[in-house]
A and B are shown apart, each in its own frame.
Chain A
Amino acid sequence: MSTATITATCPECDATVTFDRAPLNGEIARCTDCSAELEVVSTDPITLELAPEVEEDWGE
């Protein structure tokens, strides 16, 4: 029995990014090919953009 793989395309290097479960909007992923930090901007279809750079007011 096969399990459907959830994938999207890295906007930086065009590699396939795999998710182990359905991602949510705003979720952060990393491309294993180019190491780019990516953000899920749409879930149907799954669309990725480069994640924003760290801002001065980010933190705990």
Chain B
Amino acid sequence: MRIAMTYTRLRVEERMLIDAFEDLGADVTPVDLRHVVFNPTTLGDWARYDAVFDRSLSLTNTLTSVRILESLGVRCINPLRAIETCADKLATTLALIRAGVATPEVRVAVESEPGLEAIEQLGYPCVLKPTVGSWGRLVSRVNDRDAAESILEHREVLGSVSHSVVYAQEHINKPDRDIRVFVVGGNAIAAIERRSEHWLTNTARGAVAAGMEVTPELADLSQRAVAAVGADIAAVDLLECPRRGLLVNEINHSMEFRNSTTTTGVEIHRIVAQHTLNIAQAHASQAASDGDIHPVQRACDAPVSGERAGAAGAPSGEGALA
């Protein structure tokens, strides 16, 4: 199997994945997205690969590349729909609600004044989050009305347009930890708890991770959450609510796991690589039964006019990989 692994920064996780692919006998090519020119009308050099595994650290680069590649018929891992849903906290919330997966209550507004009303409907304390963001950046616990007014004013004056959306989430009085479950191919394969004395329990913010058992309840909830967003591979963050039990907080489409393999004893990178190869194999088999030329490629190669057909049907090489 031939896999392209797109990236913008080669971290420990990406090296672990490259090693895992090679150990499994796959032909893996790391592709630095920062040097790629895409032609949305032709597969070009991307036709060499059975699947593209996205590991870009930049959400913008991920969305740009996967939108184009998926449109050309390339099997991307994760699929665009899953990335778009996981990357946006509101989209995740809506997917979880539709699927009946327990999640903290939220209120949403697009201006500060109704934003304050949204916060007060939930009561204090509550949590304000940018709808797009990671590693706990700009996530605020709002303890009272003064703080709410202050944060909303700061966001209105200093934030980007996207920060004008007020996404207020019920504050969960969890124990000093949250739980992360790694789900690959619909199976919960490992779990960690992330402990911190700070109310934010992101490891990027200093929380300490330790392995824990994947209980049937954790597995069921996490697997249903990942199914709701349509991801092949994802990490589900859960909170323990004293009143309502386990709640799905967020889902990460491009998970970090460098410390979780040793804490859980599970070779997450190897399982991820194997599942990617399984997907690539299935996609390649489907392509072979379709005549080994993807429909998009056929459409691009079809002569629509004398002059244009030559350009659109250019042979591989236009993909301009790194």
Chain A interface residues (CB < 8 Å from chain B): 24-28, 39-40, 51-52, 55-60
Contacts and interface: CB of A to CB of B under 8 A. Distances in A.
Determine the main DSSP class of A at the interface with B.
Answer: loop
Given A24-B30, A25-B32, A60 B10 contact: no
Contact of B58 (A27, A51, A55): A55
B60 interface: yes
Given A25-B322, A26-B8, A59 B59 contact: yes
Interface of B: 7-11, 15, 18, 30, 32, 34, 57-60, 132-135, 137, 235, 252-256, 322
A24 B132 CA distance: 30
A28 B134 CA distance: 20
Nearest to B254: A60
B255 A60 contact: yes
Given A26-B7, A28-B11, A58 B57 contact: yes
Contacts of A40: 10
A26 B135 contact: no
A51 B57 CA distance: 13
Given A60-B134, A60-B135, A26 B256 contact: no
B133 A59 contact: yes
24 contacts: A24-B18, A26-B7, A26-B9, A26-B10, A26-B30, A27-B10, A28-B9, A39-B9, A40-B10, A51-B9, A55-B58, A56-B133, A56-B137, A57-B58, A57-B59, A57-B132, A58-B59, A59-B57, A59-B59, A59-B254, A60-B134, A60-B135, A60-B254, A60-B255
B59 A26 contact: no
Contacts of B15: 24, 27
Nearest to B61: A57
A60 B322 CA distance: 23
A52 B7 CA distance: 14
Nearest to A25: B32
Given A25-B10, A51-B9, 6 more contacts: A24-B18, A26-B7, A39-B9, A52-B9, A56-B137, A60-B255
A39 B9 CA distance: 8
A24 B254 CA distance: 20
Contacts of B255: 60
B249 to A, nearest CB: 13
B10 A28 contact: yes
A40 B32 CA distance: 12
A58 B7 contact: no
Contact of B135 (A24, A25, A52, A59): A59
Nearest to A27: B10
A60 B7 contact: no
B98 to A, nearest CB: 23
Contacts of A27: 10, 15
Nearest to B252: A60
